[in-house]
Amino acid sequence: MSVKVIVGTQWGDEGKGKITDMLAEKVDLVVRYQGGNNAGHTVVVGDKTFKLHLIPSGILYPSVACVIGNGVVIDPEILLKEIETLAKQGVKVTPKRLKISSIAHVILPYHKLLDQAQEAGRSDEKIGTTGRGIGPAYTDKVARFGVRVLDLFNKESFTKKLKKREWHKLIPDLKLTEEEVVETYMAFAKRLEPFVEDTSLFINDAIKAGKRILMEGAQGTLLDVDHGTYPYVTSSNPIAGAACTGAGIGPHKIDQVIGVTKAYATRVGEGPFPTEDHGDQGEYLRTKGCEFGTTTNRPRRCGWLDLVVLRYAVRVNGLTEICLTKLDVLDGLKTIKVCNSYKTPNGIISELPMDPELFSKCEPIYDEVPGWKEEIANMTQWSDLPLNARNYIKYIENLTGINISLVSVGSKRNQTIHLLEAD
Ligand code: GDP
Ligand code: IMO
Ligand code: MG
């Protein structure tokens, strides 16, 4: 038996999709525990590129079952489209292979309208959300107004819930009627019904049966609603602890927590990002790393690896190992900047400040480590890597106190160097 949680250690888009798919080869179950279709997880297999938003990144192995846990917010229309897209790409998503929690909350059309209207209404403090209705859906969940998957099967109570919410008061120019929404969503639910079940029971039975399980986090630690750069965060908890609440398993069932870390840093949307590079080097990373959003296609803000952030992620997630991705993007740089502490009006600090005002004033203090000239995208062994690439990896391990178990040097499965061959 083993349960491993995979989490993003930065601001999302670290390459969780690639790493989950890589590790899924040796597991029985992959579970998403939070977020929604704000996530965009890319998996490249041969000449095919799969962009997954709600379906776990284990779906490409026919022997792996996938679970969308109770902590995820589900847009049923998007989920059905994702199933159809996968079918067109030759991946059959059957009820045996995909389980959807009956108590996961549903993203309704109102949530999307509200998300977009709220974002448009914020003049100088935009969050830069994905506009997918994530925030409003989680807001309704916590406010106890939420509609859950199981509600979609009961016309009377579903209609009652929608009327009680009085959406027209929140969205003045609302054109939708409750009846229309009920009809559309009940039709979606009918198609999804064979996939719906008590997923906590399913996962716990799998644990009891000694199955190997991966829990796939979405977003990243610094986007966590509690531990991220609030209010510039998403509305769920991407950190490892949420794997328990979002899937319905006990904390003692988790064996390992794997942090996925990009060899540099990116962020989409607004909010503080101390190591952002607004100059040529940021542009270089964006172009070379193809840093454009998987979900919204927005250009990602780019900058340097921040070890203050990474050590924080080690702490709040309890990381047991790190997978380092996109190391190939740093090929050809004479030196690589890495931030190890911040200069603040109150002095130099090496722990992430909790006060957002202070965080926004932090200036990175950089080490410059030597780069390498060679192209590493086709290297498969530790010993193939240029000395300075190996030194960069060791440098990160030394300053975080955590082993790097795997290095990714390209988007494909075989562009991966295993450093610690665990089970
Ligand atoms: P996720 O949201 O964490 O799953 O990451 P995304 O899929 O949004 O973004 C990561 C992007 O980098 C995708 O286009 C991946 O195909 C790509 N990628 C993943 N690992 C590597 C790598 O090691 N090198 C390069 N060059 N690209 C990678
Ligand atoms: P994956 O799983 C990167 C960001 C948005 C915005 C903030 C809030 O692919 O790493 P939301 O729509 O969630 O209310 O937006 O969070 N964001 C992401 N950034 N990767 C993601 O997912 C993200 N999901 C949300 O850009 O800044
Ligand atoms: Mg992504």
Is 224 in the active site? no
Residues, beta carbon < 5 Å, ion ligand 3: 13, 40, 294
pLDDT tens digit string along 386-419? Answer: 999 999 999 999 999 999 999 999 999 999 999 9
Supply the residue whose CA is at minimum distance from atom 28 of ligand 1.
Answer: 411
123 has pLDDT over 80 = no
CA distances from 52 to 36, 137, 290, 335 (A): 11, 20, 17, 35
Q: Is residue 160 helix, strand or coil?
A: helix
Written as six digits, the tokens of 80 are: 């059905």
Condensed to tens digits (0 to 9), the pLDDT of residues 49-60 reads: 999 999 999 999
Each residue of 326-337: pLDDT tens digit? 999 999 999 999
State the pLDDT at residue 121.
Answer: 84
> In angstroms, what is the span from residue 155 Cα to ligand 3's centroid?
35
Query: pTM here?
Result: 0.97
56 lines ligand 1 (CB under 6 A): no
pLDDT at 247: 98
Structure-block tokens of residue 242? 């949420």
- Averaged pLDDT of the chain: 96
Q: What pLDDT does residue 423 have?
A: 44
The pLDDT of residue 122: 81
Ligand 2 pocket check: which of 42, 129, 267, 296 to mutate, most ligand atoms within 8 Å of Cβ?
Answer: 129
CA of 298, nearest ligand number: 2
pLDDT at residue 422, rounded to an integer: 46
Percent of the chain with pLDDT over 90: 92
Spell out where 281-414 has E strands.
Answer: 301-303, 305-306, 321-325, 335-344, 347-349, 363-370, 404-408
Q: Which residue has the least CA distance to atom 1 on ligand 1?
A: 13
Which regions of 293-334 does DSSP assign to beta strands (E)? 301-303, 305-306, 321-325
pLDDT-derived band at 173 (thresholds 50, 70, 90) equals confident
Task: Note the pLDDT of residue 321.
Answer: 98
| Residue 1 pLDDT | 62
Q: What residues have CB less than 8 Å from 236, skipping those under 6 apart?
A: 34, 35, 71, 73, 134, 138, 218, 219, 224, 225, 242, 246
Q: Which residue has the tokens 């916590």?
A: 142
